Structure 1
Amino acid sequence: MQFGRTYEEFEVGDVYRHWPGKTVTEYDDHLFCLLTMNHHPLHMDTNYAEKTTDFGRNVVVGNYIYSLLLGMSVPDVSGKAIANLEIESLRHVAPTFHGDTIYGETTVLDKTPSRSKSDRGIVHVETKGYKQDGTLVCVFRRKVMVPTAEYIEARGGEQPGRPELRTDGRDSGKGGK
């Protein structure tokens, strides 16, 4: 399974559909709110949301949806990234509710070689998130610095930090056989 791409593997106009989707639960939403100290009653207080909002129910915090989509895109876009350089724009287009399932796709908008280092380049992408019914809920653009194939080879090839698996049937010395 591929995890990320080198600069050469990106083509302007390519679209990566991220799968699987994620069904958002009330627990997920409330945990994210608590972890990020976002205690707005629109997200946390059902009584408030039912009585005082146009939606009549809790709305999932938008930054959770953005975070889900960013995470979904990692295997296709930034799994080999040297750096995430910029979030150019972020728009929450429609509300997401508990029980909605989010799906994402990323389009390659542009790519440029690094001006300072020949072993990397910058890829400009746009990620869109949709609910199960096709409603667009979130759009963001970002720039990611990714390695060239030369960079990967100079550092030992794919996954240089991954431990070697033993094939001789013996234990690595940490107990067992």
Structure 2
Amino acid sequence: MPGLYYDQFQVGQVFKHPIRRTITEADNVWFSAMTHNPSYLHLDEEYCHNETEFGQRLVNSCFTLALMVGISVGDTVLGTAVANLGWDDVRFPKPLFHGDTVRVESEVLEMRESKSRPGEGIVIFAHRAFNQNGELVAHCKRSSLMRKTPA
């Protein structure tokens, strides 16, 4: 499903994305290895069981961020984004573990026309990720440069 053009968004618009994802051990280990992150928190079950309050490995927070934003793409910016301009206020209030299922919602917080690029505008989204228990596990603001509807 293609994304929306800049002028099709409205401040306050909320997307409850239909895609959900159960996180596997392979997701976490592969992502951590691919990004050269050797943290024991993601890779060493024995360490996490004996040395942390969690008792098990945590899902890499960079994977959580990427998954949260990735799930939002189809409903919002697929084929209509020019560029991702950045993330702000990235937070992980609760950890994710192998076997947790993530659902995501996005809200349009702000919009403004691009001053330097006619035919484009900036949309600021709030993305929120929840686990299977409805607990907020991640949130961020994302700025995206978007195309306007072609003339």
Does residue 57 of structure 2 align to residue 55 of structure 1?
no
Paired position in structure 1 for 2:29: 30
Q: 1:78 Cα shift? A: 2.0
Q: 1:87 Cα shift? A: 1.1
**3-state DSSP of counterpart to 1:149:** coil
Q: Distance in 1 between matches of 2:148 and 2:74?
A: 17
Equivalent position amino acid for 2:145 in 1: M
Q: 1:70 Cα shift? A: 1.1
Paired position in structure 2 for 1:114: 114
* Structure 1 residue runs of 4 or more that deviate by more than 3 Å after TM superposition: none
Higher RCO (CA 8 Å, separation ≥ 6 residues): 2
Q: Distance in 2 between matches of 1:118 and 1:47?
A: 55
Paired position in structure 2 for 1:163: none
Q: Distance in 1 between matches of 2:6 and 2:86?
A: 17
Cα-to-partner distance string for 1:30-60 (whole Å, 9 max, x where unaligned): 0001101111111101100000000111111
Larger radius of gyration: 1
Counterparts of residues 1-177 of structure 1 (less than 5 Å) = 1=1, 3-79=2-78, 80-150=80-150, 153=151
Q: TM-score, normalised by structure 2?
A: 0.96
Q: Distance in 1 between matches of 2:32 and 2:117?
A: 40
Equivalent position amino acid for 2:135 in 1: T
List gaps (5 residues or longer) in structure 1.
Answer: 154-177
Q: Distance in 1 between matches of 2:18 and 2:24?
A: 18
**3-state DSSP of counterpart to 2:68:** helix
Q: Distance in 2 between matches of 1:6 and 1:82?
A: 10
Q: Distance in 1 between matches of 2:121 and 2:42?
A: 39
Equivalent position amino acid for 1:105 in 2: E
Equivalent position amino acid for 2:84 in 1: N
Equivalent position amino acid for 1:81 in 2: A
Q: Distance in 1 between matches of 2:134 and 2:22?
A: 14
Q: Distance in 2 between matches of 1:46 and 1:59?
A: 9
Equivalent position amino acid for 1:95 in 2: P
